[in-house]
Amino acid sequence: MSTDNPNNLNQHRHRLNLFNIRIDKQGVSMWRYVLAIFWLCAYFSAPATAAPSGSLKDTRLNCRVVGISDGDTITCLAAATPHRIRLAGIDAPESKQAYGRRAKQALSQYIYRRNVYIRISDTDRYGRLVGTVYLDGSDINRQMIAAGWAWAYRRYAGADYINAEATARRQKRGLWQDANPVYPQDFRHQRPE
């Protein structure tokens, strides 16, 4: 491109204005060029799993677990965006309930600061994504039930989760060591708010 002809310069200036690149007699304004390339690369390299929208059935999310709220709720980062995730099909003891802290510790030992894959199935009434968490191919939701740190959430759980709970009960794992463990939903209704 010749910068000697002012008409030629204006034609190219118009074409490149989309990226806010200025061409003058000195050449391309480098910092704007670099910034334009950076934003284009960032836009086209963003993962497809960032934020699910529309139909959530079987949406996939790859993220790093950065927080454990309790035995069935985590926070993870995907593409620098935080997501609150409610583990699907399980109900762990509340934080102030017997075994609540132990359930949180168990979940933390499994996945805290680890990269996980989550199959999102829904959004709950609190705006959290609901999903099944996988680490190296293992279903962490099921693992929480099998270790005795959560109940199979009867309303949403499949037969596999219900069978895992029955086995944990028989073998008195985790919270099943207690003679009369209180189901979290019952605990929430007993507690004065």
Q: What is the set of active-site residues?
A: 86, 94, 128
Burial of residue 133, with CB atoms counted within 10 A of its CB: 0-12 exposed, 13-18 middle, 19 or more buried: buried
- Concatenate the DSSP letters of all residues of the chain into one string: --SSSHHHHHHHHHHHGGGT--EETTEE-HHHHHHHHHHHHHHHHS-TTSS--S--TTEEEEEEEEEEEETTEEEEEETTEEEEEEETTEEPPPTTSTTHHHHHHHHHHHHTT-EEEEEEEEE-TTS-EEEEEEETTEEHHHHHHHTTSSEE-TTT--HHHHHHHHHHHHTT-GGGGSSSPPPHHHHHHHS--
d(CA 174, CA 177): 6
